Each structure stands twice: as structure tokens, then as C-alpha cells.
Amino acid sequence: MIGSKKFFGQGFGSKIIEEFLSFVRQQEPSLTSVIIDPDPKNLRAVRAFEKAGFVRESEITPPGGRALLMRLPAI
């Protein structure tokens, strides 16, 4: 999502997620939560989502393979 590896580890991921969520809030003011399902092995992505306020719910197995169900409880 970020692009070049030179941008990894600088906080861009969580900032991009926060900006996107701000946009979503403006477009859908009645939205009460957001659910995502990153690969549980993608620790950078999971950490960026946690920094943006998402919490881990459980691991699931959708058609594409293992995923970590995460929810942003109130937006």
C-alpha cells in the first residue's frame, strides 16, 4: 500500500489509514464500524491498523487463505 520499502517504518501506513477513515466518515456519517482482514503474517500491516485504532477479533479462513479479522469499533 505504501510503495517503496524506503518508506517502511516511518508511520506512513497508519497515517494513510487514518486519512482514508476520515474520508469514509465524511462520505458515510452513519457508519458505526469498519472491518478489515489483513494477512496475519503481514506484521507491518497489522501494526499500522492497530496504531490507527483497529483491534484484533479473531483469525479466519476466507477463500483466499488465513486472515486476521480486525475491527475499528467506533468511527
Domains of the chain, by residue range, sit at 32-75
- 18-42 confidence digits (pLDDT tens): 898 899 989 998 888 899 999 999 9
pLDDT at position 62, please?
86
Give the chain's mean pLDDT.
88
Q: pTM higher than 0.95 for the full model?
A: no
In this model, does residue 15 exceed pLDDT 90?
A: no
In this model, does residue 75 exceed pLDDT 80?
A: no
Distance (Å) of CA 31 to CA 19, 57, 60, 69, 75: 16, 19, 23, 18, 7
